[in-house]
Amino acid sequence: MLSPKLVSRRSHMGTNVAIPVVLLAAFSVAPMVYANQAVIFQMMAFMVLAQGVNLLYGFTGYLPFGYVGFFGIGAYGMAIGIELFHLPGLVALVVGALFSVIVALILSPLLRLSGAYFAISSLAASEVLYNVVANPALVHLTNGPYGESLVQSYHPETSYIAMVVLLIVTTIIVIVIKNTAFGRALMAIREDPVSAEMAGIAVVRTRTIIWIVSAVIAGLTGAIFGWHLSVFYPSTVFDLSISILAIVFTLFGGGGTAIGPILGSVVLYGLYNAIGISDPQYFELIYGLLIVLLVLFLPGGVVSLLQRRGNYVP
């Protein structure tokens, strides 16, 4: 006889396993059903970014307005790998990830800051990265403001598969972190760093690890994104609205869960495609209103409606 508690744990295990499986199935079939592959690809990119934001904001409470900095550096690291070292695309992705790790390590002192100070400083850091990469003085390394063109290594299918893999791996990372002691340590730090430290959690080490993990996630997303596009400008990959959309998607679905950011990306990116491309200002208006209403009435996101009734949310 299994105890009721054990049964419910097993069924939670089932829902958790179902998420990556459903995602894998959906995005493997999607290109055959829906002709506009660019839309599907970008939706995946935003899903990964939203999960990256989720790891930082949902679990740790650091709101990274400048998250796009890692994305852009990943894209440029990949481009440098292809242009300067003539690496094949898949290896160049690793270069992109390495660049984002280096930047994350340089920026890790930002984690000493709290609340608003962290959020705005991370925004400042991403603007610094953008202005350095786009500076005409770096024209030999990054081609400055004139952008990168990697047409010789344009592989839309391979990069699509790479993004699916990244999405699945990221989702599994979030689920694993959420269900292990590491995730609970992060949430303890979010609630009260002093008590967490006293309970024996290595606060500085834990938050630095999650910072680097989420930086690598954004860096790889940027690298695969840049590879998929193969022609991009600094203003494309350091566009602040990338961080903003990822944050809003996470908030809408609900941070600190695995399903929230996925839900937010599907619903809001769908909305963005329906009205955002032709009339971006109306989309901006709607999501501005949505943010205000969410903060005032539903700070836990859509999933908190389920959680409030005592349901388990993966």
Partner 1 sequence: MLEYSLIAGILFGVFFGFMALGLNLIFGVMQVVNLAHGDFVVLGGYLAVVAYSSAHVNPLMSLILALVLFVVVAYVLYFPLIPRLTKSKDPEMLSLILFFGLSQIIEALDVIGFGNNPRSLPLAIMGSVPLHFLGQNYQMAWVITALVSLIMIGVTYGFLYYTRIGYAARAVMGNRDEAMASGLPVAQTSAIIFAVGIGLAAMAGVMSPFMIGSIDPSTGLGLTTIAFAIVVIGSLGNPLGSVLGGLVYGISVMLMQTYFSSWSNLVPYLLLLIIVLVKPSGLLGRGVRNA
Query: From the CB of residue 98, how many other CB atoms can be counted at a distance below 10 Å?
Result: 17
Instruction: Report the nearest approach of partner 1 to the CB of residue 268 (Å).
Output: 13
Q: Tell me the per-residue interface mask from 82 to 111 with partner 1, x by CB under 8 A, - otherwise.
A: ---------------------------xx-
Instruction: Report the nearest approach of partner 1 to the CB of residue 289 (Å).
Output: 6
- Kindly list the distances between the CA atom of residue 286 and the CA atoms of 65, 148, 260, 290, 303, in Å, as whole numbers in the listed order: 20, 33, 19, 6, 20
Beta strand pairing call for 148-149 and 231-232: antiparallel
Q: Tell me the per-residue interface mask from 111 to 140 with partner 1, x by CB under 8 A, - otherwise.
A: -xxxxxx-xxx-xxx-xx--xx--xxx---
Instruction: Report the nearest approach of partner 1 to the CB of residue 186 (Å).
Output: 13
Determine the 3-state secondary structure of 148 from DSSP. strand
Q: Does 194 bind partner 1 (CB under 8 A)?
A: yes
Closer CB to partner 1, 57 or 71, in the complex:
57
Closer CB to partner 1, 88 or 299, in the complex:
299
Q: Tell me the per-residue interface mask from 195 to 234 with partner 1, x by CB under 8 A, - otherwise.
A: -xx-----xx------------------------------
Closer CB to partner 1, 84 or 289, in the complex:
289
- Kindly list the distances between the CA atom of residue 140 and the CA atoms of 128, 135, 143, 145, in Å, as whole numbers in the listed order: 19, 11, 6, 11
Query: From the CB of residue 257, how many other CB atoms can be counted at a distance below 10 Å?
Result: 25
Structural tokens at position 72: 């852009």
HSE, CB side, 13 Å, CA atoms: give it for residue 251.
22
Contact set for partner 1, span 35-64 (CB under 8 A)? 61, 63
Q: Tell me the per-residue interface mask from 276 to 295 with partner 1, x by CB under 8 A, - otherwise.
A: ----xxx-xx-xxxxxx-xx
Determine the 3-state secondary structure of 239 from DSSP. coil
Closest-CA residue to 81 (of 96, 70, 63):
96
H or E stretch covering 232? strand 231-232
Instruction: Report the nearest approach of partner 1 to the CB of residue 108 (Å).
Output: 11
Cβ partners under 8 Å of residue 119, min gap 6: 62, 63, 64, 65
**Alpha-carbon gap, residue 162 to 139, rounded angstroms:** 29
Q: Which stretch binds partner 1 (CB under 8 A): 19-27, 194-202, 231-239, 257-265?
A: 194-202
Enumerate binding residues for partner 1 (CB under 8 A): 61, 63, 109-110, 112-117, 119-121, 123-125, 127-128, 131-132, 135-137, 189, 193-194, 196-197, 203-204, 240, 244, 247, 251, 280-282, 284-285, 287-292, 294-296, 299
